[in-house]
């Protein structure tokens, strides 16, 4: 029996990881989540899975984190709990410092205390972002040794948490592995993010906002590819190392939105011009131009590569949102996730 602990496990990536791990024999998963606007217990599909345990907890509470780590005694910790929307970090950076920096500090302290007390083996995977590296021009890729250059309160908070993890490894020989991934998409993603927001606005025939000129470029990866990488890294990744995860799938925001509008014509209303809903709005302050990941290390050392073609993945994602209107409505009731954030 392998016992997994997932922080932020009711969020988009965390819940996908929990669902994937639950399919494996001899696995037990403890999910910790604060259930903010981006966390949804229903995303875990608990009615279908008897090996997932859920606990509502804020990792800023060190005593609770220590108690639950000691009681559960995990073999592998996947640390995903984080405030993750750049726009919200511009409006309220304090929440990002609390969860992403102090919360990570608490997870490291509690796991270190657990190790010293019990003398057991443990792996701690810290899941981070490509945004810590800053911005690229029209050429080049982020690799694992690219110097950090965070440009937003969100990316600065994640860079801080990455540095804490490295410090725990070098100072205490703490068994941590860091991963940095590009932009994810797929089912159960909060409607505030570009792809689900555009899909939902197509479904409702609402205005589709695009920041600036829509030329910003991201490396898009399906969430199931991402979690498969995380699982493989947990099995054979080297302690103290970091791994970039990406799909080598660079797409502009304009291309993303136009692709979704085209799919809307196929799946919703073939006679409606969904591109007529597009409206260019003022850009996000400090909006990084381009991210792209060099994945040669994970390809070579872990034997992982992405498998889900974007055109297939985005169409299946669109269909999922059509089929899960109740989940969308629950998100929209929880917070104003479709409203503009990060506008100074």
Q: Are 13 and 36 in contact (CB under 8 A)?
A: no
Residues 6+ apart with CB under 8 A from 53: 28, 29, 30, 31
- CATH superfamily membership of 2-188+221-247+289-308: NAD(P)-binding Rossmann-like Domain (3.40.50.720)
4 catalytically annotated? no
Question: What pLDDT is attached to residue 335?
Answer: 63
Catalytic choice (33, 83, 87, 130) = 130
Q: Tokens 């205490």 appear where? A: 172
Asked if pLDDT for residue 59 goes beyond 70, the answer is yes
Question: What pLDDT is attached to residue 315?
Answer: 98
Of the two residues 127 and 92, the one the predictor is more confident about is 127
**CA-to-CA distance for 330 and 85, rounded, in angstroms?**
19
Q: Kindly indicate the confidence band of residue 342, based on its pLDDT and cuts at 50, 70 and 90.
A: low
Asked if pLDDT for residue 245 goes beyond 90, the answer is yes
Q: Kindly indicate the confidence band of residue 25, based on its pLDDT and cuts at 50, 70 and 90.
A: confident
* pTM (predicted TM-score): 0.95
130 catalytically annotated? yes
Q: Are 320 and 314 in contact (CB under 8 A)?
A: no
Catalytic choice (33, 83, 131, 219) = 131
154 catalytically annotated? yes
Catalytic choice (114, 154, 211, 274) = 154
Domain definitions of the chain by residue range: 2-188+221-247+289-308
Q: Kindly indicate the confidence band of residue 38, based on its pLDDT and cuts at 50, 70 and 90.
A: confident
Q: Are 57 and 81 in contact (CB under 8 A)?
A: no
Closest CA to 114 of 167, 75, 170, 84: 75
Question: What pLDDT is attached to residue 3?
Answer: 97
Residue 104 CA, distance from chain mean position: 15
**CA-to-CA distance for 70 and 123, rounded, in angstroms?**
15
| Mean predicted lDDT score pLDDT of the chain | 95
Question: What pLDDT is attached to residue 85?
Answer: 81
pLDDT tens digit sequence for 214-228: 999 999 999 999 999
The H or E element that residue 244 is part of is strand 242-245
pLDDT tens digit sequence for 193-205: 999 999 999 999 9
């Amino acid at each position: 029996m392998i016992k997994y602990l997932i922080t932020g496990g009711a969020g988009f990536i965390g819940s996908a990881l929990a669902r994937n791990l639950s399919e494996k024999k001899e696995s037990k998963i403890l999910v910790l989540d604060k259930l903010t606007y981006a966390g949804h217990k229903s995303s875990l599909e608990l009615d279908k899975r008897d090996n997932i345990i859920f606990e509502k907890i804020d990792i800023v509470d060190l005593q609770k984190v220590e108690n639950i780590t000691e009681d559960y005694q995990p073999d592998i910790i996947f640390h995903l709990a984080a405030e993750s929307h750049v726009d919200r970090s511009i409006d309220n950076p304090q929440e990002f410092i609390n969860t992403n920096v102090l919360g990570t500090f608490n997870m490291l302290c509690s796991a270190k205390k657990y190790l010293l007390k019990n003398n057991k083996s443990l792996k701690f995977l810290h899941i981070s972002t490509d945004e810590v590296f800053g911005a690229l021009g029209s050429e080049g890729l982020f690799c694992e040794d690219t110097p950090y250059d965070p440009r937003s309160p969100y990316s600065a908070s994640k860079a801080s948490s990455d540095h804490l993890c490295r410090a725990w490894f070098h100072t205490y020989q703490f068994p941590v592995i860091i991963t940095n991934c590009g932009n994810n998409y797929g089912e159960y993603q909060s409607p505030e993010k570009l792809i689900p927001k555009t899909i939902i606005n197509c479904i409702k025939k609402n205005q589709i906002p695009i920041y600036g000129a829509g030329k910003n470029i991201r490396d898009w990866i399906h969430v199931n590819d991402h979690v498969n990488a995380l699982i493989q890294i947990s099995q054979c990744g080297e302690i103290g190392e970091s791994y970039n995860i990406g799909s080598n799938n660079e797409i502009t925001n304009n291309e993303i939105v136009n692709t979704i509008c085209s799919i809307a014509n196929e799946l919703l209303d073939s006679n409606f011009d969904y591109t007529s809903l597009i409206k260019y709005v003022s850009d996000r302050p400090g909006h990084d131009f381009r991210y792209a990941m060099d994945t040669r290390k994970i390809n070579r050392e872990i034997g992982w590569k992405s498998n889900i073609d974007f055109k297939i993945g985005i169409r299946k994602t669109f269909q999922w949102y059509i089929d899960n209107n109740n989940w969308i409505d629950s998100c929209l009731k929880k917070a104003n996730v479709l409203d503009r954030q990060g506008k100074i």
